[in-house]
Structure 1
Amino acid sequence: MGLIRALQENGHDVLVVAPEDDYTQKIKEAGCEFHPVRMDSRGANPIKDFALTMELRGIYKRINPDIILHYTIKPNIYGTIAASTLRLPVINNVCGLGTVFLQKGLVSKIALFMYKVAFRFPKKVFFQNHHDFDLFLKEKLVKENISDVLPGSGIDLDHFPPSQFKRNKKFTFLLISRLIHDKGIIEYIDAVKKLRSQGVDARFQILGAKDPEHRRGIKTEIIDEWIDNNIIEYLGTTDDVRSFIHDADCVVLPSYREGTPRTLLEAASSAKPIVATDVPGCNNIVENNYNGYLCELKNADDLADKMYTMMSLEDEKIELFGKNSRTKVEREFSEKIVISRYLQSISEFKSLKALNH
């Protein structure tokens, strides 16, 4: 929304193409023209993906934009292919490589091939961390001269102000995520079980949507069992995470891989210490022993140890970690940095277009 407002303030009309959901109304209220698209974000189905390409081509042909900004895997690939057939320029944003790159196999090979085909056409490709940027260059999926690394999607520092430090009587850990395996939910549960078996008296919360339909989703009955056995407090879903972050002592994300995880940016901006996995995306935001702790990938014992170390710290150290989190996002992840790079790319393209005409 920050980028949309900045584009409007710079005299651009913004049209949004997306599946209809709870945010559609907010986009319309922000003065954007909205065009619904049918898109199944779960898994790869060649027939559905071809249909998506044709549907996007139809929309792009109808609205004839000056430039298209794509986010996430399917728009990046199929939207770019659709736009290329109409000679419409695009700027892509690789917000993380998704679950497809976590398992090496036929699906990841196909995804690499599709990226290679689609990424011959963009004017610009933004990456959200250096690992993804390096991987795409190594696999020759994109030309270096059109690629750049952004600090995630940026964070609105005013919308997530630093929380005043206070320690809960019962130390509270919060994990914010969809309930799918690749976010490290099982490792979190196993770590919680281990800590409880050692007599640790703390609160362990999860905030986020159940997604049993997802290929890597966790079955509803398993989640219900965790809730019934008081292993975790399940907080459901929300469209405003600020009060939940504010009430926690530490935010946890044992994810397997990320672009730049928004939940950690929000936690860091709110001046919270973090425990996360030492993987691309998470280790952009968390510096070990500076604003939190990094744990080993898929290692519930190490996660439990880091969580225990965190709650055993003196108040002063926890408060310092929180302040360091805020300092880091102010320095590296402000939304203003992202917006200015987009505006710069768009104005460069406009100058180029004017020259060619």
Structure 2
Amino acid sequence: MKRIVVIVSEPTSLASTRGHLLLALRDSGYEVHAMAPVDAMTIRWLAENGVHFHPLPMERAGIAPLGDTVLAFRLHNRLRKLKPQVVLTCAIKPIVYGMPAALLAGIRRRHALVTGLGYAFTDRHKSPRWRMVNAVARLLYAASLRVATTVTFQNDDDRNDFRRLGLLGRTQANVVNGSGVDLDRFKVAPLPDQPRFLMIARLLRDKGLAEYLGAATLVRALRPDARFHLVGDMDPNPSGFPLSEVEEAVAGGAIRYHGPVEDVRHIIADTRIFVLPSYREGTSRSVLEAMAMGRPVITTDAPGCRAPIVPGVNGLLVPVGATTSLAEAMIRLIDNPDEAVSMGKNSRSIAEQRYDIQKVTADMMGIIEGGDRAAG
């Protein structure tokens, strides 16, 4: 039997984001193994769906020389014992340690999936700490991606930047349309009449959280009937956003904070306009989910954010870090309700055409199986 090992740093992504791909691999005859930090609900889902789980302690963010060295040895030892034909690594730590470990374990098909570049490539102020993290990340990526069989990105900007920085060598580079969205699960819901805005993101400065809170305050001063909602959990990332600032915005009446929400469909259905003022993404899953449910989107003209948006057709693009421009885009869609309705319909159409999880999974299967359907 063919055997594949999928390595991720965020265990919940195995079901929520990679689940469709894992099941497609299983159904095509693979014995599927997953390595990730422990999460009880994920382990249960994997067991119910015939995927073998191997706990792998890993800090998703930050550089820890001793811990990361132990991680590299554990990966090598486990891969050598499992002897899979294929390894797929997702996100920075699984990639930078998983690719060399797979090479040393004699695994011939080594696939890296870059789902976003994160803090290491997105600090707008280029602090000394960021410069160090960026330099280390570039060195690690260059060493690991050069021994990969393929590298897959979720937008053209990331692939082009990695090529420009010389991080790919001669490795085949592909682009797929994000992680896709389940169109049967995220169905179109009618737009509510009240101007309700929603942002779904981890509490990170790089997600544009300060800009969202600032724009909410500006808009509510001019359009008091507008409502702003925020969904997302705290994050240990160096660019983490203080919960105290969110609570201050809640106390001032600017937003309503829901915390982490497992199933966001009812919250998307209850809002009219989706907002993500992020500094950079792979391709945002929350944006695709909002589009699938027929929501217009306001996001930034930044790598990975602009990819699903046709300006003026299914959403609006604003400059990164521009609170006033973000507020103006919000007011435009409040004052032009017919435009918001039209954009919402177009969002669903674009999701169907480009981001259907069935199509994205087929592209990923083609890459894993050695095909060239998604090559670029």
Where on the TM-score scale, by shorter chain, does this alignment land: which range? over 0.9
- Residue 106 of structure 2: aligned partner: 87
Verify: 1:3 aligned to 2:28, yes or no.
no
- Residue 8 of structure 2: aligned partner: none
- Residue 354 of structure 1: aligned partner: none
- Residue 167 of structure 1: aligned partner: 192
- Residue 163 of structure 2: aligned partner: 137
The code of the aligned residue for 2:52 comes to: E
Distance 1:239 1:199 in 2: 31
- Residue 16 of structure 2: aligned partner: none
* Residue 238 of structure 1, CA deviation: 1.6
TM-score by length of 2: 0.88
Distance 1:195 1:348 in 2: 50
Secondary structure of the 1:285 match is: coil
- Per the alignment, do residues 281 and 74 of structure 1 end up closer, same or farther by CA in structure 2, a change over 3 Å counting? same
- Residue 267 of structure 1: aligned partner: 290
Secondary structure of the 1:173 match is: strand
Distance 1:306 1:249 in 2: 14
Asked whether the equivalents of residues 154 and 178 of structure 2 are also in contact (C-alpha less than 8 Å), the reply is: yes
Alpha-carbon deviations, 1:227-277, whole Å to 9, x = none?
A: 222221011212111111111101100000000011001111111101101
Distance 1:327 1:269 in 2: 8
Asked whether the equivalents of residues 119 and 237 of structure 2 are also in contact (C-alpha less than 8 Å), the reply is: no
Distance 1:77 1:336 in 2: 28
Alpha-carbon deviations, 1:117-168, whole Å to 9, x = none?
A: 11111111111000011111112211466111100111121111222x2333
Asked whether the equivalents of residues 176 and 364 of structure 2 are also in contact (C-alpha less than 8 Å), the reply is: no
* Residue 11 of structure 1, CA deviation: 1.2
* Residue 223 of structure 1, CA deviation: 2.1
- Per the alignment, do residues 348 and 102 of structure 1 end up closer, same or farther by CA in structure 2, a change over 3 Å counting? closer
Verify: 1:247 aligned to 2:270, yes or no.
yes
Q: How does 1:26-37 map to 2 (within 5 A)?
A: 26-37=45-56
Secondary structure of the 1:282 match is: coil
Q: Between 304-313 and 56-65, report the one with greater CA deviation.
A: 56-65
Secondary structure of the 1:14 match is: strand
- Per the alignment, do residues 191 and 61 of structure 1 end up closer, same or farther by CA in structure 2, a change over 3 Å counting? same
Structure 1 counterpart of 2:328, from 305, 314, 325 = 305
Verify: 1:119 aligned to 2:125, yes or no.
no
**Structure 1: runs of 5+ lacking an equivalent:** 350-357
Structure 2 counterpart of 1:185, from 209, 212, 215 = 209
Distance 1:145 1:91 in 2: 10
The code of the aligned residue for 2:273 comes to: C
Structure 1 counterpart of 2:243, from 211, 220, 226 = 220
The code of the aligned residue for 1:262 comes to: R
Distance 2:170 2:196 in 1: 44
* Residue 99 of structure 1, CA deviation: 0.9
Structure 1 counterpart of 2:342, from 289, 305, 320 = 320
- Residue 234 of structure 2: aligned partner: 210
Asked whether the equivalents of residues 137 and 144 of structure 1 are also in contact (C-alpha less than 8 Å), the reply is: no
Secondary structure of the 1:65 match is: coil
The code of the aligned residue for 1:303 comes to: L
Cα-Cα RMSD: 1.5
**Structure 2: runs of 5+ lacking an equivalent:** 1-18, 372-376
Distance 1:337 1:234 in 2: 34
- Residue 117 of structure 2: aligned partner: 97
* Residue 199 of structure 1, CA deviation: 4.4
- Residue 370 of structure 2: aligned partner: 348
- Residue 82 of structure 2: aligned partner: 63
Secondary structure of the 1:17 match is: strand
* Residue 43 of structure 1, CA deviation: 1.3
Alpha-carbon deviations, 1:266-322, whole Å to 9, x = none?
A: 1111111011011011100112111011111101000000011011113x3222101
- Per the alignment, do residues 125 and 249 of structure 1 end up closer, same or farther by CA in structure 2, a change over 3 Å counting? same
Q: Between 23-32 and 321-330, report the one with greater CA deviation.
A: 23-32
Q: Which runs of 4+ in 1 moved over 3 A?
A: none
Distance 1:279 1:336 in 2: 26
Asked whether the equivalents of residues 273 and 325 of structure 1 are also in contact (C-alpha less than 8 Å), the reply is: yes
The code of the aligned residue for 1:55 comes to: R
TM-score by length of 1: 0.93
Distance 1:194 1:278 in 2: 21
